[in-house]
Structure 1
């Protein structure tokens, strides 16, 4: 584990909205320093939590989905379950905060 599913505008519905597991979707960009800072934290969490799909979507390449969910700042994490957004985290959050959130989501 510890790997991310790549989400695009074209596979968003199938990969995220129709997933049988909760999906933590990371809105990010290559040029974003805080996004790069969050990547190892998210990979570590992904390795520990099999009950959640960890996914990434590049905001520059997938503007339809980015705009649909009103993402104005990155990194932004959205937790989806059964096609709905259950939680949001904007900005580079501390690892312990994310661990608490992910643990709660996984239960």
Structure 2
């Protein structure tokens, strides 16, 4: 698996309205915590126990309107969606909490 960039509002809506769960990292290159946790997020996406979960990233500098619409106030922020509904979110670069969020995504498969 991999972490795929979301580059438009239309693409974001398509991703969150899918049948499978997805975890989206909202980040910025200048935010140290964002860049620090990104390699771990990539590792989680490659873990076979997470097959069936989509992993995505939104650069808030490139997608400022999208970030504003979903209420991003801290970086990084991770949001879990399925069928257009937000199931959970996490603000900050806390690896154990991120792992729990992804485990919750797996239960939604």
- Is TM-score (shorter-chain normalized) higher than 0.5? yes
Q: Which residue of 2 aligns with 1:73?
A: 74
Q: Which residue of 1 aligns with 2:56?
A: 55
Residue 9 (structure 1) shift? 2.5
CA distance in 2, matches of 1:98, 1:74: 13
CA distance in 1, matches of 2:101, 2:16: 20
Q: Which residue of 1 aligns with 2:83?
A: 82
Q: Which residue of 2 aligns with 1:105?
A: 105
Report Cα offsets for 1:32-77 as digits up to 9, x if no partner.
Answer: 1101111111011111111210000000110111011110111000
Alignment RMSD (CA, Å):
1.3
C-alpha contact 2:23 2:55 (8 A) present in aligned 1? yes
C-alpha contact 2:21 2:80 (8 A) present in aligned 1? yes
Q: Which residue of 2 aligns with 1:33?
A: 32
Q: Which residue of 2 aligns with 1:18?
A: 17
Structure 1 runs (4+) deviating above 4 angstroms are none
Q: Runs of 5+ in structure 2 lacking a partner?
A: none
Q: TM-score, normalised by structure 2?
A: 0.87
Q: Which residue of 2 aligns with 1:5?
A: 4
Secondary structure of residue in 2 paired with 1:27: strand
Q: How many pairs are equivalent?
A: 104
CA distance in 1, matches of 2:71, 2:17: 20
C-alpha contact 2:88 2:101 (8 A) present in aligned 1? no
